[in-house]
Amino acid sequence: MVKIGVLISGNGSNLQAIIDGIDKGLIKGKIEIIISNNKDAYGLVRGKNSNIKSLFMDPKGYDPISYDRKLLYELKKSKVDLVVLAGYLKILSKEFIDQYKNRIINIHPSLIPSFCGKGYYGDRVHKAVLDYGVKYTGATAHFVDEGTDTGPIILQEIVAVDDGDTVKTLKEKVLQAEHKILVQAVKLFCDSKISIEERIVRIIDKE
Ligand code: GAR
């Protein structure tokens, strides 16, 4: 059973998708701990409702490196094997990433390498997509490396941008795709069905 730690900053709908995936027996893993950098994150309530240890860790008074050391301490204490960034809107330090190399999965609300990197998070991504006028966007589940949104891509799903879409409607459609591929990516990891060569991810025994 893979021990999972989930980091969040907000609503936690992606976290909920993982909780549901575990409850349905799809994901052979267990969420040991949820940590939020935002006190008001609704994801903390979702965690508590599912009887999962859910912590708010206040970033105030910490530089990014010491904050991440505190995060690492909590995750290691819970013996976490896989870290999932489910709407965690803070950049992780190199030290953190080194400790969990190829064991951190992030979900991003666009088709990487478009509309990603510094400054592209949450609603800003959908606003940029609409302003640019692309006809398709989507979601990407990827491993986290030292860059911002540059790590090996595990799964992607396409979402059409329709006339009349707003940030709100686009976000809803992309969230559906995010939930689907994030659950699938975590499932594949827990089933040891992912291999990585350089930056190319291959799914072993694709059904
Ligand atoms: C999601 O759309 C996720 O992809 C995005 O934040 C939202 C969190 O929603 N993450 C990023 O933009 C990271 N660069 P949720 O709290 O309902 O899961």
Separation in Å, CA 151 to CA 135, 141, 202: 25, 10, 14
CATH, domain 1-100, list 3.40.50.170, 3.30.530.20, 3.40.630.30, 3.40.50.2300 = 3.40.50.170
- From the CB of 107, is ligand 1 less than 6 Å away? yes
List the chain domain ranges.
1-100, 107-207
Average pLDDT over the chain, rounded to whole? 97
Atom 8 in ligand 1: which residue has the minimum CA distance? 87
In total, the chain counts a number of residues equal to 207
Whether omega for the bond prior to residue 113 falls within 30 degrees of 0, making it cis, is: yes
Residue 205's pLDDT band, with cuts at 50, 70 and 90, is: confident
- Looking at CATH, the fold of the domain delimited by 107-207 is given as Rossmann fold (3.40.50)
∠ CA 117-160-177, rounded to 5°: 65
What is the pTM (predicted TM-score) of this model?
A: 0.97
Pairing of strands 153-160, 136-143: antiparallel
Per residue in 64-84, pLDDT (tens digit) is 999 999 999 999 999 999 999
Ligand 1, residues 7, 91, 175, 179: which to mutate, most atoms within 8 A of Cβ? Answer: 175
Per residue in 108-153, pLDDT (tens digit) is 999 999 999 999 999 999 999 999 999 999 999 999 999 999 999 9
